């Protein structure tokens, strides 16, 4: 069995501008932030992002990486609105395919099952139909119901962050919610799993029950160990760094403060980020 | 015992769940509807399923902000999205705008193409209003929220095929859609509020006849809110007296 362990830089180096990238997690929860931060440092641009959006979308907006966003919302959960996403929308700098969140899940299911679409009621009658004029409805062949045909959310690459993984690419979550990371992995041509900790295959089930093995190596191209890599969204403790998230939102409100935030946290590599966060936390004590 | 405005609102939210039986109360719009759902379960709607605010269905209605305690079920986001279509769910939404038919907006203010203010996005509102019972909680009743037209139809109203819009609870009143043309009706005003107050704070014409006073909390409901479900007084922060 050849190992699939790669570096953050190798993952981002394998991506190209204009790609469609799905990002796992939900809002400000278990987002593959180490990989997102590496995209910020790269030359990548013109990306189509598929996400139950949170800080991932916010940061990619702040760095002008997104051409088009497909999402039902962008939120930081404990802070309802994402400042960089709001600014990008209000300045008209990104294209936005606004979906209902259940409709979005059916798009992931369709892609994961290699179906062209799945039918649902969610979205019908709403302005989601108005602002996505390419959406089509379909009549049930068994009755009179008219349903929304949600197109498959296919993607070139999926990025997800899991709690544990082995070098083969099997991955496990330890929190109370799997989110939709397995569907992203199945929907994408290539999936990269970052994880809090790499473990031996023999130790996977020492970490959690077999049901928590959410992602199979058959769907995984590469594995990256990034301790605290989902910071400041939820990670191994299922808690987010609320203080840091507040700091992020406050900095986003002012151009000078945002420049200082970028310089302090985002210009170096992942190890530099984690060091800078540790120093920031120590300063606050 | 005399009740505060917040307590009247919480009981009005609880009343939205009357008759629901063994379904999930998803009171995502704020502390008051969460308190209302758990109060309904603690009193007249004991079969209701309630959450800890996260993915756990709790064995008992838990106090606001408290850990789940004994867990009786698991409802991660994917199962919420399934349950919406399944229909055994009653959600309380907190829209930024709502019109006379119950079309509501949580997405953006202004022109969608380049909004004046981008809000959350449509989230689950389109599917929720189309597939399961929906109520609304509006902590600040004003003409900014109750508008002739909403800037974006996130949740659909009765003129667009809503499943069931049970009612609207605000800091001033209780409203519903029990009219022949399913336009919004003023059902009751909270103690100390007049019909004229509600009309002045509403940006469209309301159906008004036979307006009652909102039911007051019973002593038992007050005791449960004050001593069990909301000892820390979250309700008073959301609806100041």
Of B18, B2, B12, whose CA–CA distance to B133 is shortest?
B18
Cα Dmax for chain A: 65
Return residues 60-99 of A near B (CB < 8 Å). 71-75, 80-81, 85-86, 89-92, 98-99
Nearest to B156 among A86, A98, A126 (CB): A126
pLDDT digits (tens, 9 = 90+) for A1-13: 459 999 999 999 9
Residues of chain A with pLDDT under 50: 1
Would you mind telling me the total number of residues written for chain A in this entry?
285
Cβ pair B130:A90 closer than 8 A:
no
Q: What is the mean pLDDT of residues B73-78?
A: 97
The verdict on a CB contact (< 8 Å) between B154 and A126 is yes
The reply to whether B156 touches chain A by the CB within 8 Å rule is: yes
- Determine the Cα–Cα distance for residues B104 and B92; give it in Å rounded to an integer: 12
A128: number of CA atoms within 13 Å, CB side? 37
Give the containing element (helix H, strand E) for B14: helix B5-16
Q: Which strand (E) or helix (H) includes residue B223? A: helix B219-224
Q: What is the pLDDT of residue B19?
A: 98
Q: Which residues of B fall within a CB distance of 8 Å from A66?
A: none
Instruction: Name the minimum distance, in Å, from the CA of A158 to any CA of chain B.
Output: 18
Tell me how many residue pairs between chain A and chain B have CB atoms under 8 A apart.
124
Residue A68, both tokens: 């088009």
Picking from A79, A31, A95, the residue whose alpha carbon sits closest to that of residue A253 is A79
**Structure-token pair, residue A34:** 């180490």
Task: Please check whether residue B121 touches A, CB under 8 A.
Answer: yes
* Smallest Cα distance from B51 to chain A, Å: 13
Please report, for chain A, the start and end positions of each structural domain, with discontinuous segments joined by +. 8-101+153-284
How many other β-carbons are positioned within 10 Å of the β-carbon of residue A69?
Answer: 24
Containing structural domain, residue B34: 5-238
- Cβ of residue A122 closer than 8 Å to a chain B Cβ: yes
Neighbours of A44 (CB within 10 A): 20
A65: Cβ–Cβ under 8 A, 6 or more apart, which residues?
A39, A40, A44, A45, A47
Report the 10 Å Cβ neighbour count for B99: 21
Q: Is B76 on the interface with A (CB under 8 A)?
A: yes
Residue B28's pLDDT is 79
Categorize the per-residue pLDDT at B222 as very low, low, confident or very high, splitting at 50, 70 and 90. Answer: very high
Reduce the DSSP state of residue B237 to 3 states and report it: helix
Are the beta carbons of A90 and B85 separated by less than 8 Å?
no
Tell me what the mean pLDDT of segment B46-63 comes to.
95
pLDDT at B56 over 60: yes
A114: CB partners within 8 A, 6+ apart: A152
Residues of A in contact with B153 (CB under 8 A): 125-127, 130
Of A158, A114, A150, A107, nearest in space to A129 by CA = A150
pLDDT digits (tens, 9 = 90+) for A27-59: 999 999 999 999 999 999 999 999 999 999 999
Which residue matches tokens 């709790």?
B58
Question: CATH number of the domain that B204 lies in?
Answer: 3.40.1080.10
Q: Is B191 helix (H, G, I), strand (E, B) or coil?
A: coil
**CB of A51 less than 8 A from some CB of B:** no
Residue of B nearest to A79 (CA): B120
Per residue in B200-220, pLDDT tens? 999 999 999 999 999 999 999
pLDDT of residue A2: 58
Distance of alpha carbon A176 from alpha carbon A212, whole angstroms: 10
Phi-psi region of B146 (alpha: psi -120 to 50; beta: other; left: phi over 0): beta
Report residue B79's pLDDT band, with 50, 70 and 90 as the boundaries: very high
Q: In total, how many domains does chain B have?
A: 1
The hierarchical CATH code for the domain A8-101+153-284 is 3.40.1080.10
- CB environment A213-229: b (16+ within 10 A), e (fewer): bbbebebbbbbbbbbbb
Instruction: State the average pLDDT for chain B.
Output: 97
Which of A85, A120, A131 is nearest residue B118 as measured by Cβ atoms? Answer: A85
A176 vs B108: CB contact, 8 Å cut-off? no
- For residue B150, is pLDDT > 90? yes
pLDDT at residue B157 above 60?
Answer: yes
B118 touches chain A (CB under 8 A): yes
């Amino acid at each position: 069995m050849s190992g699939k362990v790669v570096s953050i830089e190798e993952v981002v180096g394998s991506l190209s501008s204009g790609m469609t990238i799905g990002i796992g997690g939900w809002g400000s929860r278990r987002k593959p932030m180490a990989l997102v931060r590496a995209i910020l440092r790269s030359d990548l641009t013109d990306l189509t992002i598929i996400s139950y959006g949170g800080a991932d979308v916010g940061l990619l907006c702040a760095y002008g990486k997104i051409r088009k966003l497909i999402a039902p919302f962008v939120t930081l959960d404990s802070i309802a609105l994402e400042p960089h996403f709001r600014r990008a929308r209000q300045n008209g700098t990104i294209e936005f395919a606004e979906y209902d969140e259940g409709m979005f899940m059916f798009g992931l299911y369709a892609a994961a099952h290699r179906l062209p679409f799945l039918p649902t009621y969610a979205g019908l009658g709403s302005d989601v139909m108005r602002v996505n004029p390419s959406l089509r409805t379909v009549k049930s062949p068994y009755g009179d119901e008219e349903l929304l045909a949600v197109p498959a959310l296919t993607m070139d690459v999926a990025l997800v962050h899991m709690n544990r993984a082995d070098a083969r690419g099997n991955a496990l979550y330890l929190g109370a919610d799997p989110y939709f990371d397995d569907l992203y992995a199945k929907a994408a041509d290539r999936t990269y799993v970052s994880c809090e900790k790499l473990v031996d295959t023999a130790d996977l089930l020492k970490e959690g029950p077999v049901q928590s093995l959410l992602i199979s190596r058959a769907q995984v191209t590469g594995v990256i160990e990034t301790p605290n890599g989902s910071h400041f969204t939820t990670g191994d403790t299922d808690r987010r760094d609320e203080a840091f998230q507040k700091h992020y939102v406050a900095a986003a409100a002012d151009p000078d403060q945002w420049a200082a935030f970028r310089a302090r946290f985002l210009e170096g590599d992942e190890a530099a980020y984690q060091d800078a966060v540790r120093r920031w936390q120590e300063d606050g004590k | 015992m005399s009740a505060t405005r917040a307590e009247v609102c919480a009981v009005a939210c609880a009343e939205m769940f009357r008759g629901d039986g063994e379904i999930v109360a998803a009171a995502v719009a704020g502390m008051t509807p969460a308190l209302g759902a758990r109060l309904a379960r603690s009193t007249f709607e004991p079969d209701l399923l309630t959450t800890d605010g996260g993915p756990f269905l709790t064995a008992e209605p838990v106090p606001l902000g408290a850990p789940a305690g004994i867990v009786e079920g698991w409802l991660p986001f994917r199962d919420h999205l399934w349950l919406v279509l399944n229909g055994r769910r009653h959600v309380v939404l907190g829209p930024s705008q709502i019109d006379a038919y119950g079309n509501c907006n949580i997405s953006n203010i202004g022109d969608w193409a380049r909004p004046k203010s981008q809000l959350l996005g449509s989230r689950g509102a389109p599917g929720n209003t189309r597939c399961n019972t929906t109520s609304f909680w509006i902590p600040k009743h004003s003409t900014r929220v109750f508008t002739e037209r909403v800037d974006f139809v996130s949740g659909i109203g009765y003129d667009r095929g809503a499943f069931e819009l049970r009612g609207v609870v605000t800091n001033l009143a209780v409203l519903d859609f029990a009219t022949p043309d399913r336009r919004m009706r003023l059902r009751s005003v909270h103690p100390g509020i007049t019909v004229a107050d509600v009309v002045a704070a509403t940006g469209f014409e309301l159906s008004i006849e036979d307006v009652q006073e909102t039911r007051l909390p019973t002593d038992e409901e007050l005791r449960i809110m004050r001593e069990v479900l909301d000892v820390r007084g979250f309700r008073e922060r959301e609806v100041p007296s």
